């Protein structure tokens, strides 16, 4: 690993306005997708330079922004025109806009569960129905139930599918073949695909993701792709994302919608941070991915030795571990509440991801090794206390 970058320092984020760290003094938050690492120094330098200008007026989207994204995604096999790109303040505002503009009230939006819970807010708050295509779980891994997917897509009121690529929370990097099959089915039933690819660059070393729009002409011309540097470089607070739409008709609808919703104008730091990330952040990202991989191995070995009742889903992407707790509790929500109360460890409850999420917890491992070990010790203590209380020690 590149020792130029420091991922081991324990930064005190309490009192900084951090959502993640807005917790009680003795609590350890390992829930929301927010890393406890400082971002790439080149990004900080770019933001400091922007701040030093001292004038923070309205901003435009410069050509350098499109160029940075074009050049970066060309590495993943997606050659795009600059006209395909629309700025948005975040992936979720773009998802919500797509639901509002590409569907009608009462329509079905297909999601593959378990999946990022905020998708359901974007769907149901707009008067649409979330139609679940539950992923098949074999006790270790997930896969697509294509028979069920076709059934859901063929429903006359299904007009949009939200695809998570890579998948959150299961950490799946979908193959080109899987994506192509999804694309063909959606075309067959006239269903537009919105692909959330926000975690795409957080793959384990040696694994590369495939953009949905790069798979085929079918996928390209029937898709809306949402990307952002926010997860990869820990820049969520900059509120910056990009929406990639090759098809002109879809693009015009979305462009009007994003502007009507007032979510298509950047803040003064959004452009500087994003451009620096995509043009100067590669060395830092390589080191980060290696560090996260080591953290993942630490958890895997710890669970096997200390908590064999828990089963970690093998993952190829994200820093969010999806852990099966069904051998300990039938309701992961109650388990999470108990562990937080007894040990201070704050994890994400699986029920919010729907599907079979009620049997899982999600654990954020994007933190220094020392903090991770603290979290694992709390997890072990919490599980043991829970089993003692329930009388179900395994």
Q: What is the pLDDT of residues 102-137, one digit of tens each?
A: 999 999 999 999 999 999 999 999 999 999 999 999
- How far apart (Å, rounded) are the C-alpha atoms in residues 200 and 368? 22
Tokens 């030093």 correspond to 52
pLDDT at position 392 = 53
Tokens 């797509």 correspond to 98
pLDDT lower than 70: segments of the chain: 1-3, 392-394
Contact indicator for 196, 165 with CB cutoff of 8 Å:
yes
44-94: pLDDT as tens digits: 999 999 999 999 999 999 999 999 999 999 999 999 999 999 999 999 999
pLDDT at position 197 = 98
Please, what are the domains in the chain?
28-40+285-389 (3.90.1150.10), 42-280 (3.40.640.10)
- How far apart (Å, rounded) are the C-alpha atoms in residues 336 and 217? 44
With b for 16 or more beta-carbon neighbours within 10 A and e for fewer, the 24-55 pattern comes to: eeebbbbbebbbbbebbbbbeebbeebeeeee
pLDDT at position 390 = 83
DSSP state of 367: S
Tokens 């562990």 correspond to 339
Residue 298 makes CB contacts below 8 A (sequence gap 6+) with 369, 372, 373, 376
Q: CA dihedral defined by 100, 101, 106, 112, rounded to 10 degrees?
A: -80
Cα dihedral across residues 107, 113, 114, 115: positive or negative:
negative
């Amino acid at each position: 690993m590149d020792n130029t970058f420091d991922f081991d320092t324990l930064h005190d984020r309490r009192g900084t306005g951090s959502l993640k760290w807005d917790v009680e003094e003795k609590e350890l938050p390992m829930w929301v997708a927010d890393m406890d690492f400082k971002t790439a120094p080149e990004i900080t330098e770019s933001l400091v330079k922007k701040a030093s200008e001292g004038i923070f007026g309205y901003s435009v989207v410069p050509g350098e922004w499109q160029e940075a994204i074009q050049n970066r995604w060309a590495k993943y096999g997606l050659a795009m025109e600059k006209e395909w790109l629309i700025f948005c303040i975040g992936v979720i505002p773009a998802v919500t806009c797509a639901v509002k503009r590409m569907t009608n009230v009462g329509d079905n939006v297909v999601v593959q569960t378990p999946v990022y819970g905020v998708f359901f807010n974007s769907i149901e708050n707009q008067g649409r129905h979330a139609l679940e295509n539950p992923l098949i779980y074999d006790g270790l891994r997930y896969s697509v139930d294509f028979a069920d997917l076709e059934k859901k897509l063929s429903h006359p009121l299904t007009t949009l599918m939200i695809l998570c690529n890579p998948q959150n929370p299961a950490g799946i990097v979908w193959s080109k073949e899987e994506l192509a099959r999804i694309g063909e089915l959606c075309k067959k039933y006239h269903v537009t695909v919105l692909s959330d690819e926000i975690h795409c660059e957080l793959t384990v070393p040696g694994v590369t993701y495939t953009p949905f729009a790069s798979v085929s002409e079918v996928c390209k011309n029937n898709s809306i792709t949402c990307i952002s540097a926010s997860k990869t470089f820990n820049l969520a607070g900059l509120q910056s994302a990009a929406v990639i739409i090759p098809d002109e008709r879809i693009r015009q609808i979305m462009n009007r919608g994003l502007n009507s919703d007032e979510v298509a104008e950047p803040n003064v730091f959004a452009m500087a941070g994003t451009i620096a990330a995509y043009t100067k952040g590669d060395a830092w990202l390589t080191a980060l991915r290696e560090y996260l991989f080591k953290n993942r191995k630490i958890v895997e070995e710890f669970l096997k030795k200390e908590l064999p009742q828990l089963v970690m889903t093998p993952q190829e992407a994200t820093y969010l571990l999806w852990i099966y707790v069904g051998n300990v509790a039938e309701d992961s929500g109650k388990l999470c509440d108990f562990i937080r109360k007894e040990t201070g460890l704050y994890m994400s409850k699986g029920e919010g991801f729907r599907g079979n999420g009620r049997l899982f917890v999600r654990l954020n491992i994007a933190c220094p090794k020392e903090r991770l070990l603290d979290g694992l010790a709390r997890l072990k203590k919490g599980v043991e206390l829970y089993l003692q209380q329930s009388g179900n020690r395994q």
